[in-house]
Amino acid sequence: MSRLWRASPLTYLALVVAAGLSVFPIWWMFVVASRSNDAMGQLPPPVTPGGNLGANIARLFDNPDAYFLTGLINSAIVATTVTVSVVFFSSLAGFAFAKLRFRGRNAMLLVIIATMMVPTQLGVIPLYLLMTKLQWNDRLPAVIVPVLVTGFGVFMMRQYAGQAVSDELIEAARMDGCGTARIWWHVVLPALRPAAAVLGLLTFMTTWNDFLWPYAVLNDPANPTVQLSLRALSDGYYQDMSQVFTGTAIATLPLLLVFVLFGRQIIGGIMEGAVKA
C-alpha cells in the first residue's frame, strides 16, 4: 500500500466536509422523523432531534393506506429468502467454475460476465406478462424468484474460490472418496465464508432497496414491500412530512444497522472486487 503523501490538516478538513455531506441527509431524516410537522415550516430548519418520534410511529402504523407493517414483513421475507438463495446457488456455481473441469466452462463464464453488463431491467414488460401467466402478480414470488441467483454472485464467488481453496485440499478430499457435493459442503463452503458473508450483505441491501420491479408487479396496495409503502406515503401524505419521514427512517434503519455492524467487511468486499474484476 502506498502511503506516499502525509495527510495534512487540509486533507482532514476536506474529508470532514465530504463525510458531513454524506451523513447529513440521513441525520436530517431522523430529525424530521422525531419532530412534529411544524418543523417543516421552520427557518432556519431544525437540525436536532425532537420528542415526537413515538407519536409519528403510531400514526404511521395506523395509516390505512401505507400498509407499513405488511411492507416491513414482506421486505424482510423477500430480502432474507433472496439472500440465502443467492449465497447458496452462487457458491455452488462459483465452486464449479473455479475448481471443476467441464466442457464449455470458459464460454459459460463469459456469458455470466456479459449478463452483468446487460440492463435486464428493460425486460420488465414481458416479465410482467410472464408473471400474469403464472398468476404471481401482486404476490411475493414475483419479486423473489427472478433474483434467486445472480451473475454478480456467481462471478464474485468464482473469483474468491479460485484463491481461497487450494487444489491440494480438494484433491485430498477426492482421494478420501468425497464426491463433488461433499467437497463443496465440507471443504469449499467453509473456506468461502468471508466472501459469502459479503455477498449476503450486499444482496440483502440490494433486495431490500429494490424499487422498480416491485413497483411494476406488486400493484395491490395492501401487499407492498416497504419501499412501495414509502411510495404510497410520499404520494398521498406530503402534508404530513413527519409521518413520511418516520417511514423513510424505519425503512432505512435495517440497512444502517447492517452497515454499522459489517461496514468493514462490506468495504473490503467492494474494494477487493474492484481490484480483481
Contact 179, 58 (CB under 8 A): no
Q: How far apart (Å, rounded) are the C-alpha atoms in residues 214 and 140?
A: 9
Q: Which residues contact 139 (CB under 8 A, 6 or more apart)?
A: 218, 223
Binding status of residue 263 toward another protein by CB under 8 A: yes
Among 48, 102, 133, 222, binds another protein (CB under 8 A): 102
Binding status of residue 249 toward another protein by CB under 8 A: yes
Element (H, E) at 254: helix 241-276
- Nearer to another protein by Cβ, of 55 and 148: the residue is 148
Choices 54-62, 63-71, 76-84, 172-180; region in contact with another protein by CB under 8 A: 172-180
Among 62, 65, 73, 123, binds another protein (CB under 8 A): 123
Binding status of residue 6 toward another protein by CB under 8 A: yes
Binding mask 178-217 for another protein (x = CB under 8 A): -xxx--x--------------------x--xx-xx--xx-
Q: Which residues contact 227 (CB under 8 A, 6 or more apart)?
A: 71, 75, 209, 210, 211, 214, 215, 251
Q: How far apart (Å, rounded) are the C-alpha atoms in residues 7 and 192?
A: 36
Show contacts with another protein in window 40-99 (CB under 8 A).
40-45, 89-90, 92-93, 95-99
Binding status of residue 9 toward another protein by CB under 8 A: no
Choices 55-63, 65-73, 191-199, 257-265; region in contact with another protein by CB under 8 A: 257-265
Binding status of residue 18 toward another protein by CB under 8 A: yes
Binding status of residue 126 toward another protein by CB under 8 A: yes
Q: Within 10 Å of residue 51's Cβ, how many Cβ atoms?
A: 9
Q: Within 10 Å of residue 183's Cβ, how many Cβ atoms?
A: 22
Among 108, 140, 191, 197, binds another protein (CB under 8 A): 108
Looking at residue 8, the DSSP 8-state letter turns out to be P
Choices 55-63, 65-73, 100-108, 189-197; region in contact with another protein by CB under 8 A: 100-108
Compute φ and ψ for 237, nearest 5 degrees.
-125, 35
Q: Which residues contact 176 (CB under 8 A, 6 or more apart)?
A: none
Residue type, 58: A
Binding status of residue 234 toward another protein by CB under 8 A: yes
CB of 177 to another protein, least distance (A): 8
Structure-block grid coordinates of residue 44: 432556519
